[in-house]
Structure 1
Amino acid sequence: MATFDLAIVGAGIVGLGHALAAARRGKRVVVIDRDAQANGASVRNFGFVTVTGQGAGDCWSLARRARDVWVEIADAAGIDILQRGLVLAGRLPESEAVIEAFLASEMGEGCERLGAGQALSHVPCLRPEAARFALYSPHEVRVESRQAVPLVARFLTERHGVEFRWGTSVVAVEAPRLITADGGVIEAEAVIICPGDEFTALFPERIAAYGVTRCKLQMMRVRPATPVSLGTAVMSDLGLGRYLGYAELPEAEPLKRRLDAEMVAHRENGIHLIVTQSADGSLVVGDSHHYAATPDPFGSDEVDQLILDEFDAVLDLPGRTVTERWIGTYASASGRWRFTDKPSDSVRIVVVTSGCGASTAFGIGEETIGELYGRQELYGQHG
């Protein structure tokens, strides 16, 4: 019978964040996942580790820490950082007050307002009229999620001796024992369950108490007709009306009213624009948000077209083509961006309920491990 200090159920980015934090303390860690590799929200996103615009408080501060960890491990894990920074291009007059209020807040540290010409120096294909009021942040980094997440798992195995049990379903947690579907038993002093949007396999009644549902999103890969280089990721006015770090500012109310009145379909479909660039020059573009306990698995061309309409309003890329489309789902809950539940002294359930797992998981992992094992200084560690 295998015995570990810590067993983690779920090998998405939240599970990996906890594995890294525990392994850095010298803990013997096993990560168990029902799939052959990470296949959920962790690999179906922009790879955009977002700090600026995250909700004020712990979401923003944990995102800052998670960004630092991504940078710390990137070289050793063989992960390429493809872009740094963000240009948020605002074209509506109401966006100016939101940007100014954000810059005046604690979260605006290191950010600056740009003129259209300055914004174009970062994003040459930006339409000048789309960047009348531009916000620049240096804080973000961008990785290719579908490559980076497996590389984190490999790094944990090779550098820290973390064991992975792929294709293995845990059917019961009776700490210090985990029972797998094939009748196997794993012993661990502590257990962290990171189920993503799987709410019924383990402790369903405890997870249900948080009012969880699922969010479905649509995303695309767009190839420019001629090569273009985006120096940063790109967002637009719709992001100011949706990301809580902006949208919860009092100054955002006029902007949200205008968006509700003039971009009805975009708002009803939870659309805001993010554009990131991959190593091959293609662009990852999205996204939309629809909520249901069991979202349907079908993509809507109408929703994709709304996303592309905003893309074309912001970026001047005639002849661009869509080469790939996909759907993602993640856990969602009203009024909270994450939760940690404590079934017992040695068991935790950790769920990110706002789609920002890639941006916060390494920070959350350090927090959870600190609470389980006692806090110690992790900041600035490498490897």
Structure 2
Amino acid sequence: MRIVIVGGGVLGTMHAWHAVRRGHEVVHLEREAEARGASVRNFGLVWVSGRSPGPELATALRARRLWEQIGAEVPGVGFRGNGSMTLIRTAGEWAVAEAAVADPAVAAERGWRLLDAPAVRAVNPALRGDFLGGLHCAADGAVEPRVALPALRACLEPTGRYTWLPGREVRDAAPGAVRDDTGAVHAADQVVLATGAALGGLVRELAGPLPIRRVWLQMAQTAPLGEPLTTSVADADSFRYYPAYDSAPLAESQPQPPVAAEHKMQLLMVQRLDGGLTIGDTHAYAEPFPFDEVEPPYDHLTEVASSLLGRPLPRIERRWNGVYAQCLDPAAVAYRAIVAEGVCLVTGPGGRGMTCSPAIAERTAEELSW
């Protein structure tokens, strides 16, 4: 088949990957010169540990296996199975982690181990701060979001069945063809719209109102740490935001600091291949989103990260914000619908887009009989 994919982010690129691997011809359109949305404004986490039991966890585990396979074939994506460590500083946080690992089968499926402080430092010697222990998840991994997409495209191009056309915004999608804003018409047996948080324009015309909300967040990157951070790191505020955990004890007995509560914060910290640390994040759900970034969340992240590292956080060198699309149905891993004859819309994976995109795209390929 000849498949046209609209959207150059990780979800669109993974659809292109699966289509080409199944022998099809792909024309891949992106309105910007390069993807600039949530696919590159994220941590690069392949995050299994906090996923909800059922379809979400199954999707994340499948995606984790696919990322490992892709990483072996395309080293430029920067995949590493480094695991994660959620650090615990209070008795209440310890109780949440202890409950999470109480079922050995659940703990084994996610690669969870509850460790005391010396065991945490044995796994990740860079963590020399003050904490009681940590929840280690061996299943988690990371990729390099700013270089992964070009690396995947570079692997597809030599097949002769993949064409990348940036700077093209699709205006019409009809049975058998799409038209971009240069006037070019691209024949298509099937069209996949993977436009991320861009839900206006053609998507609105075809799909109308969607059960999707957009989420705004702030992040930053530091100078090199100067030593390996052998796992990704989270603080226990992440227990409040991931459905694998029962955070009721924290909500009742351990309120967040005001700035963290206001901005719905958790600390996530991932070391990039250049040694710098990506840190975040915040969550805002009410539109219109701010056009400027605010400083108190960065102060909070710096304070928490420094306390866990046991030394000052390296200087912040970059700050940015991003917006991603999230399904309103918490049980939905992504929103997938046929919005016109031969046109499939796939969006709404939320903050798990980088994690789950290989498996979400694989599912699309199966449902569309590629």
When the two structures are superposed, what TM-score results if normalisation uses the length of structure 1?
0.89
Which amino acid is the alignment partner of residue 237 of structure 2?
L
What is aligned with 1:381? none
What is aligned with 2:61? 64
Q: Which moved more, 1:202-211 or 1:34-43?
A: 202-211
Cα distance, 1:61 vs. partner?
1.2
Residue 75 in structure 1 maps to residue 72 in structure 2: yes
Distance of 2:275 and 2:54 partners within structure 1? 35
Q: Structure 1, unaligned stretches of length 5 or more?
A: 375-383
CA 1:190/1:223 → structure 2, altered by over 3 Å: closer, same or farther? Answer: same
Contact 1:92-1:237 within 8 A present in 2 as well? no
Cα distance, 1:101 vs. partner?
2.7
Distance of 2:195 and 2:79 partners within structure 1? 27
Cα distance, 1:56 vs. partner?
2.2
Contact 2:302-2:313 within 8 A present in 1 as well? no
Contact 2:334-2:360 within 8 A present in 1 as well? no
What is aligned with 1:256? 251
**Partner secondary structure for residue 188 of structure 2:** strand
CA 1:239/1:319 → structure 2, altered by over 3 Å: closer, same or farther? Answer: closer
CA deviation string 1:315-343 (max 9, x = no partner): 21226311111111111343335211222
Contact 1:213-1:293 within 8 A present in 2 as well? no
What is aligned with 2:229? 230
Contact 2:129-2:309 within 8 A present in 1 as well? no
Cα distance, 1:257 vs. partner?
2.7
CA 1:361/1:149 → structure 2, altered by over 3 Å: closer, same or farther? Answer: same
Cα distance, 1:159 vs. partner?
4.6
Distance of 1:325 and 1:305 partners within structure 2? 12
Of 301, 305, 310 in structure 1, the residue corresponding to residue 304 of structure 2 is: 310
What is aligned with 2:143? 143
**Partner secondary structure for residue 41 of structure 1:** coil
CA 1:52/1:107 → structure 2, altered by over 3 Å: closer, same or farther? Answer: farther
What is aligned with 1:134? 134
Which amino acid is the alignment partner of residue 235 of structure 2?
S
CA deviation string 1:16-56 (max 9, x = no partner): 11111222211111111111111111111111111111222
Distance of 2:358 and 2:94 partners within structure 1? 33
Instruction: Report matched runs for 1:1-383 at 5 Å.
Output: 5-79=2-76, 80-82=78-80, 84-105=82-103, 107-109=106-108, 110-127=111-128, 129-130=130-131, 132-159=132-159, 161-204=161-204, 207=207, 209-223=209-223, 227-246=226-245, 249=246, 252-259=247-254, 261-318=255-312, 320-336=314-330, 337-344=333-340, 346-373=342-369
Contact 2:305-2:313 within 8 A present in 1 as well? no
Which amino acid is the alignment partner of residue 119 of structure 2?
Q
**Partner secondary structure for residue 51 of structure 2:** coil
Cα distance, 1:372 vs. partner?
0.5
CA 1:96/1:234 → structure 2, altered by over 3 Å: closer, same or farther? Answer: same
Contact 2:120-2:133 within 8 A present in 1 as well? no
Contact 1:113-1:134 within 8 A present in 2 as well? yes
Distance of 2:260 and 2:63 partners within structure 1? 30
Contact 2:129-2:311 within 8 A present in 1 as well? no
Contact 2:222-2:276 within 8 A present in 1 as well? yes
Distance of 1:211 and 1:297 partners within structure 2? 24
Cα distance, 1:312 vs. partner?
2.3
Cα distance, 1:280 vs. partner?
2.2
Which amino acid is the alignment partner of residue 108 of structure 1?
A
Q: Structure 2, unaligned stretches of length 5 or more?
A: none
Q: Which moved more, 1:289-298 or 1:229-238?
A: 289-298
Contact 1:38-1:150 within 8 A present in 2 as well? no
Contact 1:52-1:107 within 8 A present in 2 as well? no
Contact 1:49-1:140 within 8 A present in 2 as well? yes
Cα distance, 1:108 vs. partner?
2.3
Distance of 1:228 and 1:73 partners within structure 2? 27
CA 1:158/1:103 → structure 2, altered by over 3 Å: closer, same or farther? Answer: farther
Contact 1:48-1:359 within 8 A present in 2 as well? yes
Aligned length: 364
